[in-house]
Amino acid sequence: MEKVRFGIVGTGRISDWVLAGAVEDPRFEAVAVCSRKEETAQLFARKHGIRLCFTDVEAMAACPEVDAVYIGTPNHTHADIAVRCLAKGKPVLCEKPFASSAFEARQMVQAAREQGLLLMEAMISTLNPNFLKAKEMLSQIGPLRSYTSHFCQYSSKYAKLQEAIAEGNPAKLAPVFNPLCSGGSLLDIGIYTIYPMVVLLGKPERIDSCLQTVGVPSGDPRFACVDVQGTAQFAYPGLSASVRFSKVADSFLPTEIAGEGGNLLLDKMHICRKLTFVPHGAPQSGRGEDMPGEDITCPPFKDEYTAEFTHFIDLFLAGEKESPVNSLDASVAVMEILDEIRQQAGVRYPSDRF
């Protein structure tokens, strides 16, 4: 069996999580890790049985023993690292959000196309079997009328954000809440409601959004606020979509795709573990009975992160340059939407060109 030998950039929690899923695909092999510190690289390498350690991403990408690179570092570093790895001739699987902005996303796409190399955003939600089944079923419930999605998760890093604000201490500001690292709820978890919407429906005609922001001590007064939750409405022809995301409150509401012929309910948009189909019943008003739902959940992967590596490895071995699901157009379109929402709220990052 042909193995695909990966180099991993970043030794944080997400790299641990994705490796646990990736190794479930027997074609996956982690051969190298790149960290900002040699010591951290060594620790991570020992933990995961990785042979090669680097502190320079270009040196890792140039290594002939590395076939492809996975990027699991903070948002503001994705574009730079991806472009440098592509320039060294290596395909890239890059964590979500693809980049800080559409400007950066286009630079990444251009680099991949110029080099003729595979590039894909590691958006787990749209490679989930239940999401793919829901996508296949859209014609059965059409014409579509609404898409409503939520991802609200009280952040384990919120207490530290409050401390950073109270003390005015930039050192306590985690990248996920730091505008200098392209942080905030929209790019961190709002994207899980918006990316699937774009894969299902394309780009909306109009966006009306509202981000709740807080002032943060980033150390740079030009970038001193970050969003902690938000909502957005999207207009499509004959269809409206709305999303809600939060890092300061939880939500247990499912995602719902509604058509004139029935509804699809996904229990969680981030990682859907239960898919329900509710066929449209007789037209009714007032106090009519609800139609019973049918559980049409797909058998789960042993580990949910396996899907993105299996998909990427399939594409790599087939010589493909992009995913038909997590396409480069989808990644750029999503970044354009995120840019627009940030512009409406005045949330800015250092790399912005708008």
Ligand X SMILES: NC(=O)c1ccc[n+]([C@@H]2O[C@H](COP(=O)([O-])OP(=O)(O)OC[C@H]3O[C@@H](n4cnc5c(N)ncnc54)[C@H](OP(=O)(O)O)[C@@H]3O)[C@@H](O)[C@H]2O)c1
Strand-strand pairing, 255-259 and 144-152 = antiparallel
* Separation of alpha carbons 18 and 11, rounded Å: 11
Nearer to ligand X, 82 or 141 (CB): 82
- Looking at residue 43, its amino acid is L
Nearer to ligand X, 261 or 300 (CB): 300
* Separation of alpha carbons 97 and 189, rounded Å: 9
Nearer to ligand X, 236 or 309 (CB): 309
Nearer to ligand X, 137 or 216 (CB): 216
Interface residues with ligand X (CB under 6 A) are 10-14, 35-36, 40, 72-75, 77, 95-96, 122, 124, 175-176, 188
Q: Which residues pair with 210 in a beta bridge?
A: 231
CB atoms closer than 10 angstroms to residue 63: 18
Residue 92 is classified by DSSP as E
Nearer to ligand X, 73 or 193 (CB): 73
Query: The tokens of 4 are what?
Result: 């695909």
- Which residue, judged by CB position, is nearest to ligand X in the bound state? 12
Least separation in angstroms between CB 166 and ligand X: 21
Residue 189 is classified by DSSP as I
Least separation in angstroms between CB 120 and ligand X: 13
* Separation of alpha carbons 188 and 75, rounded Å: 9
Q: Which residues pair with 345 in a beta bridge?
A: none
Least separation in angstroms between CB 92 and ligand X: 13
Least separation in angstroms between CB 288 and ligand X: 40
The answer to whether the Cα torsion of 190, 338, 72, 89 is positive or negative is positive
Least separation in angstroms between CB 214 and ligand X: 19
Least separation in angstroms between CB 326 and ligand X: 12
The answer to whether the Cα torsion of 112, 115, 26, 47 is positive or negative is negative
Instruction: Please say whether the beta carbons of 296 and 275 come within 8 A.
Output: yes
From start to end of 75-143, where are the E strands? 92-95, 119-122
Least separation in angstroms between CB 75 and ligand X: 5
Least separation in angstroms between CB 272 and ligand X: 13
Nearer to ligand X, 74 or 230 (CB): 74
* Separation of alpha carbons 305 and 69, rounded Å: 16
Nearer to ligand X, 12 or 293 (CB): 12
Nearer to ligand X, 178 or 231 (CB): 178
* Burial track 214-223 (b if 16+ CB lie within 10 A, e otherwise): bebbbeeeeb
